[in-house]
């Protein structure tokens, strides 16, 4: 029960960071915290399962996905910061490439 | 000064003589054995300074080797003419070195201005105008052996300026200067009074 | 849980091992460097200068500990430890005897490769927290270099795991056979080179290239905190040499008992000496050459090694 | 003992997550993320998934976090002193997040059980699952990584043509 509270709290704090932060980098970090919380929920609930190895493998694949997301996201951030010379999402209003 | 020096004074007041002198000997030995040099080569004496570290002369035998970073070094070796323009940079690098620190003035230009003493507006007349110099090495330029001897002299000096306050004494080193009264080259930032031993004039 | 506590105790032992190894290693490096440059090296402190490092260490401990005014103070002060602790923890998964490591977990090889990688963070943040341009550039360079060379290093160790059929370092050493040496010779070369790059030593020391960056990421560290950085560097050398001798060379080439243990120590010292040799012989590389070397030379070499090991294993199954 | 370590890790994760929400300093933000990731790895060890914990340290703390720091240094370079971030707090969003928290807790509560170390954490079992039942996702994730690599290179190096 307490483990569930901790992991869901992690997810929600990450969500709050994503919704309130204005800088792209802080939003990406918030997403990472959310992913960590969600992964923790999966692993904590899955640690009771009979086929723990499947949970292990699925968690590993989620880890890979999250790492890919972070790499692409940060690449886009740096490219956007170069082109628009801002890192604030509210100022990125130009639609044209 | 470093924290240890204050510990030393405290212990002396408590009367911890034996412990203090043993620790003192160890600290002096370690400081004297590893005088890492900050090579402040500003002119031609730097060639001899560089040669002192290399194959033929091997400064490393004495535990001294050059580090490019003032934060990691103990002794600044001033090699070469110091111009007025260079003076603030030298002073700044000296200030960046951590205590305890020493200065070796190598070559006539650094000691007194050398051949640039007269008829030059741009040369500092001796490094001791703005730095507390501990060892003076004459020569134009001095040979690497002279520099190594200077570092050995400095090692003796380190032993003198040790932890225990009773063992501390000032060197009697007041070289007569020909022009003390006539020429005024007032330094805006004189070396602080706490750094004893260097103020020759 | 008791395994965790035992692991912590061994970690402490590892830290002391690094301290002793650094005391001897620095002296040895200065002696070897002296001989390479036709000098003598330290001579005056103790017999053959043996006490030189001791006096250096004492002096560094008693030096002023400067924290720059502009620095991010808590981060600046903590970073030497964040660099040292992961490096020291690598020592607890090294198989010192056949089938035995102090912290013998099933994923020891991954632990050995993953946890020291954390010191990248410490180096990067040490450079940043100094608020010094040279230090920041040094930190970024070191981090880019370390994460690039992690790849060939991991791949080269992977071929050993494939041969042993296990990720446990103890099992790798227990399963070791003499024919692994010729088979994984290329892998060992890749491992050796990328280990030098991992600990930022010459010829890959452009993170602290003194001719351009003063001293790289530890430019603003003085006294004992700088000494901890240097200890971490030597700890990395020791860990890499021990691991290389214990797994690639089977720790004493498969001999058991006292001769094996002696040979193990000798092989470790040999690898460490070769690292020192490389540092004092090769000129420093340029940043782009460094990256090109990692991605276009070492990584393909490690992949070819992995392929060769796979083919050899398959051939063995087919033949038997 | 296990409970003590659990709460220690929970406190570390909480501090890190709060740093992500509250910090004005970009570096503190990244350090907070590092704390969260390391304590997540600690939770994985506690639950018996040793390899997952090492993968988290390897991929996240050693890789993604360094990427985050790189991005910070590239984006905020040239600004004098410490770059500072704007922090805005919105009570409505706070209420919404608490609502999401309550909802998730209510939904997942029936399946929540006592903390226990999994029996399926061995590397052998993981290997046979990854190359057995989950072979297709495993290979696809390799493809995804390659695609991401190409994407990042083309995005970052785009302006040099």
Both tokens of C80, joined, read 């030497």
Domain-located, residue C32: no
Both tokens of A78, joined, read 């740096």
pLDDT in tens, B187-199: 555 555 444 444 4
D101: Cβ contacts below 8 Å, ≥ 6 apart = A8, A9, A11, A12
Judged by a CB distance cut-off of 8 A, whether residue D70 touches chain C is yes
- Give the residue, D39 or C9, on which the prediction is more confident: D39
> Which residue stretches of chain D are H helix?
2-22, 26-46, 50-55, 65-75, 91-108, 123-130, 135-156
Residues of C in contact with D54 (CB under 8 A): 107, 110-111, 114-115
Mean pLDDT within C116-125: 86
Beta bridge pairs of residue B75: B37, B102
User: Which of B60, B66, B92, B148 is the best mutation test for C, with the most CBs of C within 10 A?
Assistant: B60
Give the DSSP letter of residue D72: H
The residue behind tokens 């905020």 is D76
pLDDT at A71 over 50: yes
Tell me the domains of chain A and their CATH numbers: 2-84 (1.10.287.3510)
The residue behind tokens 């796979």 is C310
Residues of B in contact with C215 (CB under 8 A): 67-69, 71-72
> What confidence tier does D119 reach under pLDDT thresholds 50, 70, 90?
low
Both tokens of B177, joined, read 């200067």
- Burial zone of A19 (CB within 10 Å; 0-12 exposed, 13-18 middle, 19+ buried): middle
> What confidence tier does D161 reach under pLDDT thresholds 50, 70, 90?
very low
**How many Å apart are CA C230 and CA C217, to the nearest integer?**
12
Phi-psi sector, B170: left (phi>0), alpha (psi -120 to 50), beta = beta
A 10 A CB-CB count for B184 gives: 7
For chain C, give the mean pLDDT. Answer: 85
The domains of chain B are located at 36-177
Q: Do D78 and D110 share a domain, yes or no?
A: no
Look at C34 and B30 and tell me if their CB atoms are within 8 Å. Answer: no
Using DSSP, state whether D54 is helix, strand or coil: helix
Judged by a CB distance cut-off of 8 A, whether residue A80 touches chain D is no
Among A22-26, C98-102, D12-16, which range has the highest average pLDDT?
Answer: D12-16
pLDDT in tens, B44-83: 888 888 888 888 888 888 888 888 888 888 899 998 888 9
Return the partners of chain B (3 or more C-beta pairs < 8 Å): C
In the prediction, which pLDDT does A96 show? 66
In the prediction, which pLDDT does B197 show? 46
Domain-located, residue C261: yes
**How many Å apart are CA C3 and CA C276, to the nearest integer?**
36
> What confidence tier does B171 reach under pLDDT thresholds 50, 70, 90?
very low
In the prediction, which pLDDT does B118 show? 84
Both tokens of C46, joined, read 């103790």
End-to-end CA distance of chain C: 43
**How many Å apart are CA D137 and CA C213, to the nearest integer?**
46
Number of domains in chain C: 1
- Nearest residue in chain D measured CA to CA from A49: D118
pLDDT in tens, B21-42: 677 778 888 888 888 889 888 8
pLDDT at B201 over 50: no
In the prediction, which pLDDT does C93 show? 85
Domain-located, residue C16: no
Q: Write the DSSP assignment of C21-79 as a string of letters.
A: HHHHHHHHHHHHHHHHTTS----SSSGGGTTHHHHHHHHHHTS-----TTS-HHHHHHH
- A–B contact (≥3 CB pairs within 8 Å)? no
pLDDT at D141 over 70: yes
Q: Do D94 and D82 share a domain, yes or no?
A: no
pLDDT at B170 over 50: no
pLDDT in tens, C48-105: 878 888 888 888 888 888 888 877 788 888 888 888 888 888 888 888 877 777 777 7
Residues in chain B: 201
**How many Å apart are CA C75 and CA D116, to the nearest integer?**
35
CB B59 within 8 A of CB B37: yes
Mean pLDDT within B166-184: 50
**Which residue from B27, B127, B2 is spatially nearest to B77, judged by alpha carbons?**
B127
In the prediction, which pLDDT does C190 show? 92
Residues of B in contact with C66 (CB under 8 A): 71, 98
**How many Å apart are CA C179 and CA C191, to the nearest integer?**
18
Q: Write the DSSP assignment of B103-167 as a string of letters.
A: EEEESHHHHH-GGGSSS-SSB-S-GGGTS---EEE-SSSPPHHHHHHHHHHHHHHHHHS-SSGGG
**Which residue from C57, C41, C11 is spatially nearest to C276, judged by alpha carbons?**
C41
A 10 A CB-CB count for B89 gives: 13
**Which residue from C139, C108, C109 is spatially nearest to C122, judged by alpha carbons?**
C139
Q: Do D48 and D36 share a domain, yes or no?
A: yes
**How many Å apart are CA C188 and CA C272, to the nearest integer?**
14
CB B57 within 8 A of CB C206: no
**Cβ-nearest to B63 among C34, C55, C221:** C55
**How many Å apart are CA D76 and CA C128, to the nearest integer?**
12
A 10 A CB-CB count for D19 gives: 21
In the prediction, which pLDDT does B172 show? 45
D62: Cβ contacts below 8 Å, ≥ 6 apart = C114, C117, C118, C120, C121, C147, C150
In the prediction, which pLDDT does C300 show? 92
- Give the residue, C28 or B179, on which the prediction is more confident: C28
**Which residue from B48, B152, B154, B183 is spatially nearest to B109, judged by alpha carbons?**
B48
Q: What is the CATH number of the domain that holds D22?
A: 1.20.120.1200
Residues of B in contact with C222 (CB under 8 A): 71-72, 98
Q: What angle do CA B68, B71, B74 make, to 5 degrees?
A: 85
pLDDT at A87 over 90: no
- Give the residue, C120 or A52, on which the prediction is more confident: C120
CB C247 within 8 A of CB C159: no
Q: Do D81 and D94 share a domain, yes or no?
A: no
- Give the residue, A41 or A48, on which the prediction is more confident: A41
**Which residue from B19, B29, B10, B13 is spatially nearest to B162, judged by alpha carbons?**
B29
pLDDT at C3 over 80: no
pLDDT at B185 over 70: no
> Phi, psi (5° rounding) for residue D13?
-60, -40
- Nearest residue in chain D measured CA to CA from C111: D54
Query: Quick check: bond before C177 cis, omega within 30?
Result: no
- Give the residue, C19 or B79, on which the prediction is more confident: B79
pLDDT in tens, C176-194: 888 888 888 899 999 999 9
Q: Write the DSSP assignment of C104-161 as a string of letters.
A: --TTHHHHHHHGGGGHHHHHHHHHHHTT-HHHHHHHHHHHHHHHHHHHHHHHHHHHHH
Domain-located, residue C76: yes
Q: Do D83 and D132 share a domain, yes or no?
A: no
Look at C51 and B98 and tell me if their CB atoms are within 8 Å. Answer: no
pLDDT in tens, B85-137: 988 999 888 888 887 888 899 988 888 888 888 888 888 888 888 888 888 89
Using DSSP, state whether C8 is helix, strand or coil: helix
In the prediction, which pLDDT does D30 show? 84
Mean pLDDT within D7-34: 85
Domain-located, residue C30: no
Both tokens of B141, joined, read 């330029």
In the prediction, which pLDDT does D84 show? 67
**Cβ-nearest to D62 among C114, C128, C131:** C114
Q: Is the dihedral of CA C113, C118, C122, C125 positive or negative?
A: positive
Using DSSP, state whether B40 is helix, strand or coil: strand
Mean pLDDT within A56-78: 86
Residues 76-95 of C with CB under 8 A from B: none
**How many Å apart are CA C280 and CA C287, to the nearest integer?**
19
Which CATH topology does B36-177 take?
Rossmann fold (3.40.50)
Percent of chain B with pLDDT over 70: 69
Q: Write the DSSP assignment of B92-110 as a string of letters.
A: HHHHHSPSS-EEEEESHHH
> What confidence tier does C304 reach under pLDDT thresholds 50, 70, 90?
very high
Q: Which of D87, D119, D149 marks a domain boundary?
A: D87
- Give the residue, A65 or D76, on which the prediction is more confident: A65
Q: Which domain holds residue D82?
A: 1-87
CB B90 within 8 A of CB B131: yes
Beta bridge pairs of residue C100: C97
**How many Å apart are CA A42 and CA A63, to the nearest integer?**
12
Residues 122-141 of D with CB under 8 A from A: 122, 125-126, 128-130, 133-134, 137-138, 141
Q: Do D30 and D48 share a domain, yes or no?
A: yes
Q: Do D72 and D103 share a domain, yes or no?
A: no
Q: Do D15 and D82 share a domain, yes or no?
A: yes
**How many Å apart are CA C245 and CA C263, to the nearest integer?**
9
> What confidence tier does B169 reach under pLDDT thresholds 50, 70, 90?
very low
pTM: 0.83
Domain-located, residue C44: no
In angstroms, what separates the C-alpha of A31 from chain D's closest C-alpha? 10
In the prediction, which pLDDT does B191 show? 53
Q: What angle do CA C265, C271, C275 make, to 5 degrees?
A: 140
In the prediction, which pLDDT does B20 show? 63
Q: Which domain holds residue C100?
A: 68-319
**Cβ-nearest to D61 among C106, C118, C144:** C118
pLDDT in tens, C223-277: 888 888 888 888 888 889 989 888 888 777 767 777 778 888 888 889 999 998 9
- Laid out side by side, the sheet with B37-41 consists of B37-41, B75-79, B102-106, B135-137
Using DSSP, state whether B12 is helix, strand or coil: helix
Percent of chain D with pLDDT over 70: 86
Using DSSP, state whether D35 is helix, strand or coil: helix
A 10 A CB-CB count for C253 gives: 15
Number of domains in chain D: 2
ipTM of the complex: 0.76
pLDDT in tens, C272-291: 999 989 988 988 888 888 88
Look at B67 and C63 and tell me if their CB atoms are within 8 Å. Answer: no
Our measurement of the distance from residue B86's CA atom to the centroid of its chain's CA atoms, rounded to an integer in Å, reads 18
Q: Write the DSSP assignment of C259-319 as a string of letters.
A: HHHHHHHHHHHHHHHHHHHHHHHSPPPPHHHHHHIIIIIIHHHHHHHHHHHHHHHHHHHHH
In the prediction, which pLDDT does B178 show? 53
CB D34 within 8 A of CB D69: no
């Amino acid at each position: 029960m307490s483990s569930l509270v901790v992991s869901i709290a992690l997810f929600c704090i990450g969500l709050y960071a994503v919704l309130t932060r204005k800088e792209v980098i802080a939003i990406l970090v918030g997403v990472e915290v959310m992913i960590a919380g969600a992964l923790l929920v999966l692993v904590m609930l899955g640690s009771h399962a009979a086929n723990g190895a499947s949970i292990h493998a699925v968690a590993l694949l989620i880890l890979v996905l999250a790492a890919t997301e972070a790499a692409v996201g940060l690449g886009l951030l740096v490219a956007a910061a170069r082109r628009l010379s801002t890192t604030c999402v509210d100022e990125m209003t130009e639609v044209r490439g | 000064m470093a924290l240890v020096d204050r510990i030393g004074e405290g212990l002396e007041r408590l009367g911890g003589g034996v412990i203090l002198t043993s620790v003192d000997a160890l600290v002096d030995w370690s400081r004297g054995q590893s005088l890492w040099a900050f090579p402040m080569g500003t002119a031609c004496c730097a060639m001899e300074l560089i040669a002192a570290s290399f194959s033929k002369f091997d400064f490393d035998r004495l535990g001294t080797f050059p580090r490019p970073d003032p934060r990691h070094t103990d002794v600044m070796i001033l090699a070469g003419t110091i111009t007025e323009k260079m003076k603030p940079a030298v002073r700044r690098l000296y200030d960046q070195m951590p205590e305890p620190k020493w200065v070796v003035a190598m070559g006539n230009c650094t000691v007194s201005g050398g051949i640039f003493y007269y008829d030059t507006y741009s040369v500092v007349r001796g490094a001791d105008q703005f730095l507390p110099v501990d060892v003076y090495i004459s020569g134009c330029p001095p040979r690497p052996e002279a520099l190594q001897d200077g570092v050995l002299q400095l090692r003796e000096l380190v032993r003198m300026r040790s932890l225990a306050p009773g063992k501390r004494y000032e060197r009697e080193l007041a070289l007569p200067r020909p022009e003390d009264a006539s020429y005024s080259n007032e330094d805006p930032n004189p070396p602080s009074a706490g750094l004893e031993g260097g103020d020759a004039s | 849980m008791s395994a965790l506590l035992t692991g912590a105790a061994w970690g402490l032992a590892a830290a002391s091992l690094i301290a002793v190894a650094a005391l001897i290693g620095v002296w040895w490096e200065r002696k070897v460097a002296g001989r390479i440059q036709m000098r003598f090296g330290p001579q005056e402190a103790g017999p053959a200068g043996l006490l030189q490092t001791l006096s250096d260490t004492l002096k560094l401990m008693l030096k002023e500990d400067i924290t720059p005014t502009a620095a991010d103070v808590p981060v600046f002060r903590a970073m030497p430890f964040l660099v040292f602790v992961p490096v020291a923890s690598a020592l607890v998964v090294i198989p010192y005897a056949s089938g035995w490591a102090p912290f013998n977990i099933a994923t020891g090889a991954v632990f050995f490769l993953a946890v020291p990688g954390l010191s990248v963070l410490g180096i990067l943040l040490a450079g940043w927290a100094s608020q010094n341009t040279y230090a920041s550039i040094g930190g970024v360079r070191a981090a880019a270099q370390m994460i690039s060379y992690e790849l060939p290093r991991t791949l080269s160790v992977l071929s050993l795991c494939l041969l042993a059929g296990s990720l446990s370092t103890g099992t790798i050493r227990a399963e070791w056979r003499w024919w692994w040496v010729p088979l994984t010779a290329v892998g060992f070369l890749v491992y050796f080179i990328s280990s030098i790059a991992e600990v930022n030593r010459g010829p890959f020391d452009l993170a602290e290239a003194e001719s351009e960056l003063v001293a790289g990421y530890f430019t603003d560290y003085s006294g004992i905190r700088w000494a901890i950085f240097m200890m971490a560097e030597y700890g990395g050398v020791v860990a890499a040499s021990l691991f290389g001798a214990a797994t690639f060379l089977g720790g004493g080439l498969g001999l058991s008992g006292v001769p094996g243990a002696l040979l193990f120590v000798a092989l470790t010292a040999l690898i460490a000496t070769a690292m020192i040799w490389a540092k004092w012989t090769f000129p420093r590389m340029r940043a782009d050459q460094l990256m090109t070397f990692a991605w276009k030379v070492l990584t393909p070499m490690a992949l070819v090694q992995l392929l060769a090991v796979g083919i050899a294993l398959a051939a063995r199954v087919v033949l038997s | 003992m296990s409970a003590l370590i659990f709460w220690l890790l929970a406190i570390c994760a909480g501090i890190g997550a709060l740093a992500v929400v509250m910090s004005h300093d970009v570096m503190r933000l990244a350090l907070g993320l590092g704390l969260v990731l390391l304590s997540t790895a600690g939770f994985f060890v506690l639950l018996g998934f040793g390899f997952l914990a090492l993968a988290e340290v390897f991929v996240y703390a050693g890789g993604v976090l360094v990427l985050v720091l790189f991005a910070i240094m590239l984006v905020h370079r040239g600004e004098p002193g410490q770059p500072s971030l704007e922090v805005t707090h919105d009570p409505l969003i706070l209420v919404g997040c608490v609502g999401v928290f309550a909802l998730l807790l209510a939904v997942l509560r029936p399946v929540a059980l006592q903390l226990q170390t999994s029996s399926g954490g061995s590397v052998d079992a993981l290997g046979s699952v990854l190359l057995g039942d989950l072979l297709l996702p495993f290979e696809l994730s390799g493809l995804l990584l390659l695609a991401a690599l190409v994407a990042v290179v083309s995005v970052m190096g785009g302006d040099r043509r």
